[in-house]
Amino acid sequence: MITGSQCRAARALVEVSRTLLAKRSKVDELIIEQFERKIEVPGPTAIASIRKTLEELGAVFIPDETRGGIGVRLKFSKSEAKRISRLEGEGGIVANDDVP
């Protein structure tokens, strides 16, 4: 489970708008806004979808068990993400990345 503050911070880190997050997560934009503004907490399915989408975009959620408390960080630094993007754009055979 993530908090509205973590959602807002993760969105800022991965540089995605509420509109795009809503579209990719299939959660209404108003629900995301109310969650981030601590007006209302959406159901567990909506939160899970938001979290999964933000993680796919490169956010890593830090659990409460750590000494520093909850938080969010980027999976890759900007330079690592840029190198990965460049490698992925080089062409070649397109295939599923899952290893059996």
pLDDT at 63: 82
The pair phi, psi for residue 20, each rounded to 5°, is -70, -40
Please report which residue ranges of 2-67 form alpha helices under DSSP H: 4-13, 18-25, 29-36, 44-56
User: In the block, which residue shows the tokens 């939160």?
Assistant: 47
For the domain bounded by 4-88, which CATH number is listed?
1.10.260.40
Helix, strand, coil shares of the chain, percent, nearest 5, are 50, 10, 40
Per-residue confidence at 100, pLDDT binned at 50, 70, 90? Answer: very low
Token pair for 100: 């059996």
Q: Give this prediction's pTM.
A: 0.74
Per domain, the residue ranges of the chain are 4-88
pLDDT digits (tens, 9 = 90+) for 23-54: 999 999 999 999 999 999 999 999 999 999 99
Report the alpha-carbon distance of residue 59 to residue 31 in Å, rounded: 20
Whether 55 shows a pLDDT value over 60: the answer reads: yes
